[in-house]
Amino acid sequence: MKFGGTSVANVDRIRNVALHVKREADAGHQVAVVVSAMSGVTNQLVAWVKEANELYDPREYDAVVASGEQVTSGLLAIALQRLGLKARSWQGWQIPIKTNTAHGSARMIDIPGEALLASIGKGEVAVIAGFQGVEPDEERIATLGRGGSDTSAVAIAAALKADLCDIYTDVDGVYSTDPRMVPKAKRMEKISYEEMLEMASLGAKVLQIRSVELAMVQGVRLRVRSSFEAPEKLSAFKLGDNSHVGTFVCDEDEIVEKQVVSGIAYAKDEAKVTLFGIEDKPGVAAAIFGPLAETNINVDMIVQNVSEDGKSTAMTFTVPAADLARSLDVIKSRKDKIGYRELKSATDVVKVSVIGIGMRSHAGVASSMFKALSGKGINIEAISTSEIKISVLLNADYTELAVRTLHTLYGLDA
């Protein structure tokens, strides 16, 4: 069971989390719990580090920011003990969760589960501080980067060979699109790992991408639930029973009826860059995208338009909005090698995507999408596809209209 920052935001909510844990323990389950820091605490800790020294030592940064989860794990263990359960808090170094040496964004290498299993075998609830491990060189705390608590929960579930990993958050499952934008959005009972990966990478914030990747590789079944549901209203887990409230993230073989489109996602944190008047010759694309890759800037959509005489081309591509300034600096510094005439950029764009494993076996998904958007007067500026996804770049003013139109088009309002 994993509980995020909003679920443990204060002592009252930690007591509520304890009741969720008690429900599962009373049902006879062996339980491990992973917790995040209280909502807002990590941001405060990071701010203090930067206030102390902008050029901080990343090892000391980790020592400071990991303290948020240490507090939460201890408080939840105390709350569980108050309910009569045997509970013990665990820090990353005690398990140990072994990581590499990349402080602030460490990757997990190994989790020996023997000590945890021994504790759980004695009837204790293990309350584990998420987001942290221990690196090998100095055996110091290393944090896993933002969203690391989800990832550590999945990794621990894999190490313990858990039947299920419940991710408790502030929503009661994964929806076909943002319910704040489309009131008819529905909660999905099941979604495949691949669909969830696409949705997480395309704007849905329910699960962190690394955690879904790890769950898919390790075969860990996930379930998204709300910690704000009254603990007594949620039933305890039963092996083989998939009828509980929430959304299961699982292998696509478990999904009997595969919808053509399962969900609509959108991402507003995109920026568009266009280079005009480039000579159409071999090596131009490499001259543009090679330096961007070296600067660790992720390029997504790419569109090339060759002039009628075939002598010049215009190249349009998208990058994360946060990386736009760096992207423009990189391109400008290579102007002589690229040889463009004009450089333009825009941030008033949105990427809207339709996602579904059923798209593999159905033709016409793209054409119906383009026709529906055209019918609403929405211009498509760029397109990218994968086996189970079609993404289009649009003017941000049309976000809500596009999402609602596509949600209706593919029968998701029903």
244 and 267, same domain (yes or no): no
100 and 25, same domain (yes or no): yes
Q: Does residue 369 carry a pLDDT above 80? A: yes
Q: Give the C-alpha separation, 107 to 99, whole Å.
A: 5
Tell me whether residue 337 is in a domain: yes
Please give the average per-residue pLDDT across 160-166, as a whole number.
Answer: 94
Q: Does residue 128 carry a pLDDT above 90? A: yes
pLDDT of residue 120: 95
pLDDT of residue 305: 85
164 and 58, same domain (yes or no): yes
| Domain edge (last residue) among 191, 223, 252 | 252
324 and 175, same domain (yes or no): no
Number of separate domains in the chain: 2
Give Rg (Cα) of the chain. 24
In sequence order, the β-bridge partners of residue 315 are 275, 304
322 and 213, same domain (yes or no): no
CATH code for position 374: 3.30.2130.10
Tell me whether residue 258 is in a domain: no
Reading the block at residue 342, the tokens are 């004009």
CATH code for position 97: 3.40.1160.10
Please give the average per-residue pLDDT across 374-385, as a whole number.
Answer: 93
Q: Give the C-alpha separation, 242 to 352, whole Å.
A: 31
pLDDT of residue 204: 67
147 and 236, same domain (yes or no): yes
Sequence-ordered alpha helix ranges (H) in 53-134: 58-65, 67-82, 114-121
Residue predicted with more confidence, 258 or 342: 342
What does the angle CA 46 – CA 5 – CA 170 come to, to the nearest 5 degrees? 140
Please give the average per-residue pLDDT across 165-178, as a whole number.
Answer: 90
205 and 274, same domain (yes or no): no
Q: Give the C-alpha separation, 224 to 245, whole Å.
A: 9
Query: Which of 144-153, 311-320, 341-350, 357-366 has the highest mean predicted lDDT (pLDDT)?
Result: 341-350
Q: Give the C-alpha separation, 72 to 335, whole Å.
A: 51
Reading the block at residue 135, the tokens are 């690196």
227 and 274, same domain (yes or no): no
34 and 179, same domain (yes or no): yes
Percent of the chain whose predicted confidence (pLDDT) is above 90: 70
Residue predicted with more confidence, 382 or 308: 382
Tell me whether residue 395 is in a domain: yes
pLDDT of residue 244: 63
Please give the average per-residue pLDDT across 119-139, as a whole number.
Answer: 94
Tell me whether residue 333 is in a domain: yes
Torsion of CA 325, 330, 334, 339, to 10 degrees: -50
Residue predicted with more confidence, 308 or 409: 409
pLDDT of residue 74: 98
Please give the average per-residue pLDDT across 44-68, as a whole number.
Answer: 95
Tell me whether residue 146 is in a domain: yes
Please give the average per-residue pLDDT across 329-333, as a whole number.
Answer: 95
φ/ψ region of 377 (left if φ > 0, alpha if ψ in -120 to 50, else beta) reads: left
pLDDT of residue 241: 67
- 218-241: pLDDT as tens digits: 999 999 999 998 888 888 887 766
Please give the average per-residue pLDDT across 118-145, as a whole number.
Answer: 94
pLDDT of residue 152: 93
pLDDT of residue 230: 85
pLDDT of residue 202: 74
Q: Output the pTM of the full model.
A: 0.82
| Domain edge (last residue) among 203, 229, 252 | 252
Please give the average per-residue pLDDT across 403-409, as a whole number.
Answer: 95
pLDDT of residue 340: 92
Tell me whether residue 257 is in a domain: no
pLDDT of residue 200: 82
Reading the block at residue 58, the tokens are 């990343």
38 and 70, same domain (yes or no): yes
32 and 155, same domain (yes or no): yes
Tell me whether residue 414 is in a domain: no
pLDDT of residue 242: 60
For 102, the domain range is 2-252
| Domain edge (last residue) among 207, 224, 252 | 252
- 237-259: pLDDT as tens digits: 877 666 567 899 989 888 876 77
Tell me whether residue 141 is in a domain: yes
Q: Does residue 166 carry a pLDDT above 70? A: yes
Q: How much is the mean pLDDT over the chain?
A: 91
Reading the block at residue 110, the tokens are 């190994």
330 and 186, same domain (yes or no): no
pLDDT of residue 136: 92
